[in-house]
Structures are given as structure tokens and as C-alpha cells.
């Protein structure tokens, strides 16, 4: 039986075990190896996830859940859960950026920031950002790809994301350096994110890491002091100013965009390309191009590039019959919660239970969701816009990276 069919036919518990075990040589197996290469603990967590429904306590880790409804309820409960105390990503950022993070990331300032920035990435502005930042480079890549040249999609994804960051933050780059300038910007974002590596169990950073991270943030946002008052409205800096954000809010948001929207987006692009081939769904998509949007959604679901979301408990709260105590840590296993629905199918309809859990939920729901979708749609157009398929020539999984991703994925038209 083909892997996808076997997965779909299996009962839920067996299905998640099949996925976590990385069976066969199909999409699930490659995804499993990719997760393991990034962080060896990830497949173990995913495997544990099969028991974490509705919610389960793991000694040394805290509470874990892979139930989409419980997950959403937790992420929608700011009265009892926070990302600011130890165990949450806000705690990391407060040590790097300063105490104002407590207001802007999860306090009253966060609500204000989200209210004012909600128009930042709409479907329309996202499509414009993609065309502006990528248009020429994508057309160049597509022409070469369709003419038969091999394409390292993982490398191209990093270049594209670097270009997007450059445009959004209005970062100065040296045009003479070509793609290398953008590879470097991506790598800088990666270095910043890697500071969070190894913090699954502890978010207290040692002083040397704090100093390192502060240097990187300065490198990425130092220019904003000078350009804030004059940045063009098609940059995030200019839009932030027009939306009434302060300089400090703009710098904070820029850092967030850099960390939240670089590795995740690049990860999804190459993994989508690989999964289409590995699952055997590419030929069905070529026959039914009207399912491109479903393909993007499915790629986000099965890859879930942010595989877990951490919070800590502020005040005792009962969840699905279990008592979570103040100070406990909670981990939402988004990858497991999303994958339990079954294998990648290019035309799988929207799953109301899961909604968009790959983008989180509640007040911290991904701000860049529409941009990520527009980016994936543009990459899909590059891959299959001419109605012809492609094959994977070679691949290399990224090792010890925060966000599981291909280090290299070489594809070629067939």
C-alpha cells in the first residue's frame, strides 16, 4: 500500500506512530530524518505526543499536548498562560532586548502593537512585498530552471528570505555582492535564533549568549534609528511609522519578524517542494492546478515549521480535567497535533479542528501568516508554473538547527 494511503487508513494512534517512526522512503520518512537531524529530541517528542491527548505531564519537561482543541484553548488563555516567564520565548527576549519586552511582547503594549500592526501583512500587501522583494530574482531562477538547470531550492529559499528581510527592514546591502549579501543576512538571523537552541528545558541565558545576541540585534536593527523618520511606506519601518508605532516598538517588531519569519518560511519552501515529490502528489497537482492553495496549506500543516510552542502557567488552571499549577511549563506539540490528521494530500480540504495551528493561535497568532502563504505560492509557481514536473536530485538535512530545514535540496525539471 502506498505510504500516504497506509497512513490515512491507519487508526489515529498507529498513524502518529508511523509518522514518528519515519517509515519507508516516502515523505514521512524524509520528514522524520529531517526533524532528527535538526534536533534529535524532536522525533522523541513527536512520539511522546501520541500519548499527549488531551494533555500529559512529563517529568523534567512539564505539560505537553498534541490535541488541537486543547492547544488552541491554552494559547487563547492569556489570564493563565504567558510566554514571558521562564519557559517561554518572551523570557529569552527580555534578557536580550530589555524589560520593555514584558510590555510589548505579552503585556498591554502587545495588544496595542497587534491592533496597530494588523494591516501590516494582508493578502494584498503580502503579494506586493513578494513581488517587490523577489520578482526579478524569481523570474531569473524560473527561466534557468525551466531551461533545464538544476536548482538548489534550500539555498534559493535562504536567498529569497534574506531579500524579504532586507526589504521589510530597509536594511542596507551592497548590490555588488549579489546573492551572497542575502545569504549573509539569513545566516545572521539564524545565528540569532540559534541562541534559543537548547532552551527547550531552560530559558535562562548565560551572559556570553546575551552579549552575542545583543550584538546581532544591533547589527540588524541599529540602522532603524537613522531611517525611522524617512523610510519608504513599502518597508515595514515606514509602515510601522505610518501606523503610529514608536521607534522602540518598531525595533522590537523588526527583531521579532527577523526571528519568527526567516527560518520558518525558508524551511516550509524547500520541504513543500520535497514533499510534493516524495508523496507522489506532484503529478496529481499538475493535473489539478486549481488545488495550489490547498497544497500550500497542506505543506504548512505537515511540515509545521515551528514544531512546538512553549508557555508557562501564571496561575493555577484546570485543563481537560488536569490541574496545571502556577510555574509549570507547557509545550504545545504543533507538529504532532497537525500531522495526526493524516499524510500530505494536495487537495485535502481545510480541517476545522486544526484551523491554522501551524501559525499558533490566540493573541500571538503568527503576524506574518499571509506573507508566508504568499511566499509559498510564489515558490510553487516557480516549481510548477509551466505545468511540468520536477525530481529531487539530491538532498541534505540541516544539522543542529532550531527550525528543521533542508541544508540543500537540488531539484531538476523532468
Nearest to ligand HEM of 18, 263 (CB atom): 263
Q: Which of 49, 252, 305, 404 forms a contact with ligand HEM (CB under 6 A)?
A: 305
Q: Report helix angle 292-303 to 369-384, nearest 10.
A: 120
Q: Provide the β-strand partners of residue 391.
A: 412
Is residue 83 close enough to count as binding ligand HEM by CB under 6 A?
yes
Is residue 101 close enough to count as binding ligand HEM by CB under 6 A?
no
Q: To the nearest whole angstrom, how small is the minimum distance from the Cβ of residue 375 to ligand HEM? A: 7
Q: Which of 17, 33, 114, 116 forms a contact with ligand HEM (CB under 6 A)?
A: 114
Spatial CA neighbour of 187 closest among 352, 360, 401: 401
CB 312 within 8 A of CB 327: yes
Nearest to ligand HEM of 264, 279 (CB atom): 264
Q: To the nearest whole angstrom, how small is the minimum distance from the Cβ of residue 146 to ligand HEM? A: 25
Is residue 93 close enough to count as binding ligand HEM by CB under 6 A?
no
CB 247 within 8 A of CB 230: no
CB 4 within 8 A of CB 278: no
Is residue 302 close enough to count as binding ligand HEM by CB under 6 A?
no
Q: To the nearest whole angstrom, how small is the minimum distance from the Cβ of residue 172 to ligand HEM? A: 19
Q: To the nearest whole angstrom, how small is the minimum distance from the Cβ of residue 388 to ligand HEM? A: 26
Q: Which stretch binds ligand HEM (CB under 6 A): 58-66, 202-210, 254-262, 345-353?
A: 254-262
DSSP 66: -
Nine cell digits for residue 106: 505579552
Is residue 257 close enough to count as binding ligand HEM by CB under 6 A?
yes
What does the alpha-carbon distance between residue 402 and residue 404 come to, in Å, rounded to a whole number? 6
Place of cell 499524510: 343
Q: To the nearest whole angstrom, how small is the minimum distance from the Cβ of residue 129 to ligand HEM? A: 9
Is residue 261 close enough to count as binding ligand HEM by CB under 6 A?
yes
- 322 phi and psi, to 5 degrees? -110, 145
DSSP 232: -
Is residue 63 close enough to count as binding ligand HEM by CB under 6 A?
no
Q: Report helix angle 12-21 to 41-49, nearest 10.
A: 170
Nine cell digits for residue 26: 516516502
Q: Which stretch binds ligand HEM (CB under 6 A): 12-20, 65-73, 201-209, 253-261?
A: 253-261
Place of cell 519507508: 24
CB 206 within 8 A of CB 195: no
Q: To the nearest whole angstrom, how small is the minimum distance from the Cβ of residue 176 to ligand HEM? A: 26
What does the alpha-carbon distance between residue 180 and residue 225 come to, in Å, rounded to a whole number? 26
Q: To the nearest whole angstrom, how small is the minimum distance from the Cβ of residue 271 to ligand HEM? A: 10
What does the alpha-carbon distance between residue 74 and residue 275 come to, in Å, rounded to a whole number? 30
Nearest to ligand HEM of 18, 192 (CB atom): 192
Q: Which of 28, 101, 220, 256 forms a contact with ligand HEM (CB under 6 A)?
A: 256
Separation in Å, CA 257 to CA 45, 87, 252, 277: 27, 21, 9, 30
Is residue 80 close enough to count as binding ligand HEM by CB under 6 A?
no
What does the alpha-carbon distance between residue 162 and residue 394 come to, in Å, rounded to a whole number? 23
CB neighbours (10 Å) of residue 114?
15
Nearest to ligand HEM of 88, 342 (CB atom): 88
Q: Please enumerate in sequence order all residues whose Cβ is within 8 A of that of 207, keeping only pairs 6 or more positions apart, or say none.
A: none
Q: To the nearest whole angstrom, how small is the minimum distance from the Cβ of residue 143 to ligand HEM? A: 26
Q: Which of 160, 265, 319, 382 forms a contact with ligand HEM (CB under 6 A)?
A: 265
Q: To the nearest whole angstrom, how small is the minimum distance from the Cβ of residue 24 to ligand HEM? A: 26
Is residue 260 close enough to count as binding ligand HEM by CB under 6 A?
yes
Nine cell digits for residue 53: 491527548
Q: To the nearest whole angstrom, how small is the minimum distance from the Cβ of residue 371 to ligand HEM? A: 4
Q: 356 to 385, contacts with ligand HEM by CB under 6 A?
A: 358-360, 364, 366-368, 371-372
What does the binding site for ligand HEM look like in residue numbers (CB under 6 A)? Answer: 83, 89, 114, 256-257, 260-261, 264-265, 268, 300, 305-306, 309, 358-360, 364, 366-368, 371-372
Amino acid at each position: 500500500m502506498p505510504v500516504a494511503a497506509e497512513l490515512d487508513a491507519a487508526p489515529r494512534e498507529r498513524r502518529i506512530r508511523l509518522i514518528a517512526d519515519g517509515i519507508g522512503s516516502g515523505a514521512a520518512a524524509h520528514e522524520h530524518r529531517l526533524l532528527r537531524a535538526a534536533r534529535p529530541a524532536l522525533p522523541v517528542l513527536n512520539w511522546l505526543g501520541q500519548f499527549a491527548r488531551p494533555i500529559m505531564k512529563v517529568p523534567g519537561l512539564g505539560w505537553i499536548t498534541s490535541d488541537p482543541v486543547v492547544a488552541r484553548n491554552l494559547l487563547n488563555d492569556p489570564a493563565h498562560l504567558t510566554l514571558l516567564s521562564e519557559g517561554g520565548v518572551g523570557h529569552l527576549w527580555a534578557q536580550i532586548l530589555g524589560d520593555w519586552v514584558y510590555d510589548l511582547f505579552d503585556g498591554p503594549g502587545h495588544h496595542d502593537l497587534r491592533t496597530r500592526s494588523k494591516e501590516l501583512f494582508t493578502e494584498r500587501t503580502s503579494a506586493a512585498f513578494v513581488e517587490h522583494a523577489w520578482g526579478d530574482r524569481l523570474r531569473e531562477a524560473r527561466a534557468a530552471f525551466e531551461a533545464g538547470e538544476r536548482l538548489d531550492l534550500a539555498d534559493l529559499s535562504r536567498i529569497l528570505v534574506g531579500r524579504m528581510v532586507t526589504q521589510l527592514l530597509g536594511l542596507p546591502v551592497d548590490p555588488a555582492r549579489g546573492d551572497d549579501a542575502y545569504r549573509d543576512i539569513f545566516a545572521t538571523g539564524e545565528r540569532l535564533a540559534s541562541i534559543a537552541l537548547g532552551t527547550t528545558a531552560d530559558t535562562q541565558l548565560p551572559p556570553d549568549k546575551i552579549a552575542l545576541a545583543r550584538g546581532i540585534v544591533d547589527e540588524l536593527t541599529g540602522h532603524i534609528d537613522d531611517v525611522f523618520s524617512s523610510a519608504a511606506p513599502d518597508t515595514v519601518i515606514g509602515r510601522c511609522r505610518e501606523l503610529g508605532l514608536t521607534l522602540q516598538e518598531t525595533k522590537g517588531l523588526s527583531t521579532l519578524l527577523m526571528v519568527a519569519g526567516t527560518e520558518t518560511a525558508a524551511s516550509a519552501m524547500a520541504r513543500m517542494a520535497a514533499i510534493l515529490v516524495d508523496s507522489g502528489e506532484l503529478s496529481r497537482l499538475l493535473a489539478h492546478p486549481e488545488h495550489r492553495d490547498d497544497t500550500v496549506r497542506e505543506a504548512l500543516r505537515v511540515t509545521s515549521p515551528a514544531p512546538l510552542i512553549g508557555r508557562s502557567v501564571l496561575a493555577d488552571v484546570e485543563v481537560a480535567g488536569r490541574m496545571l499549577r502556577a510555574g509549570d511549563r507547557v509545550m504545545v506539540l504543533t507538529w504532532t497535533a497537525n500531522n495526526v490528521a493524516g499524510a500530505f494530500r494536495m487537495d485535502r480540504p481545510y480541517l476545522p479542528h486544526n484551523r491554522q495551528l501551524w501559525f499558533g493561535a490566540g493573541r500571538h497568532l503568527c503576524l506574518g501568516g499571509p506573507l508566508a502563504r504568499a511566499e509559498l505560492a510564489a515558490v510553487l509557481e516557480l516549481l510548477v508554473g509551466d505545468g511540468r514536473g520536477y525530481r529531487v536530485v539530491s538532498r541534505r538535512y540541516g544539522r543542529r538547527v532550531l527550525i528543521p530545514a533542508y541544508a540543500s535540496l537540488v531539484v531538476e525539471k523532468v
